[in-house]
């Protein structure tokens, strides 16, 4: 959809930005193929996702959990895993 050098418009759907980054990742790997790529993506995305949503809610864990669609206990567990508490 968008080439390596072409940035998606800021108001483009999130999937467009994700697609661009995944394509860039594969291009950087050249002929190498990753393993457990799905898990890698989830691990890499979780920390910045939690960090930004916490910032947006000014540290309010209840609001953060609501935005993320998590129960507060699950959020707290994830925050501890990532040393955000």
Q: Given this model, what pLDDT does residue 76 score?
A: 97
- Residues of the chain with confidence (pLDDT) below 50: 1-5
For the chain, report the end-to-end CA distance as a whole number of angstroms.
39
Q: Given this model, what pLDDT does residue 9 score?
A: 81
Q: Given this model, what pLDDT does residue 6 score?
A: 64
Scan for tokens 């609501």, then name that residue: 66
**Helix residue spans in the chain (DSSP H):** 14-29, 37-56, 61-68, 72-81
């Amino acid at each position: 959809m968008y080439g390596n050098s072409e940035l998606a418009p800021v108001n483009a759907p999130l999937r467009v930005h994700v697609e661009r980054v995944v394509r860039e990742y594969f291009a950087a790997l050249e002929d190498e193929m990753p393993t457990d790529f799905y898990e890698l993506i989830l691990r890499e995305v979780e920390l910045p996702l939690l960090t930004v949503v916490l910032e947006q809610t000014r540290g309010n864990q209840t609001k953060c959990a609501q935005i993320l669609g998590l129960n507060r206990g699950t959020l707290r567990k994830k925050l501890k895993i990532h040393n955000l508490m």
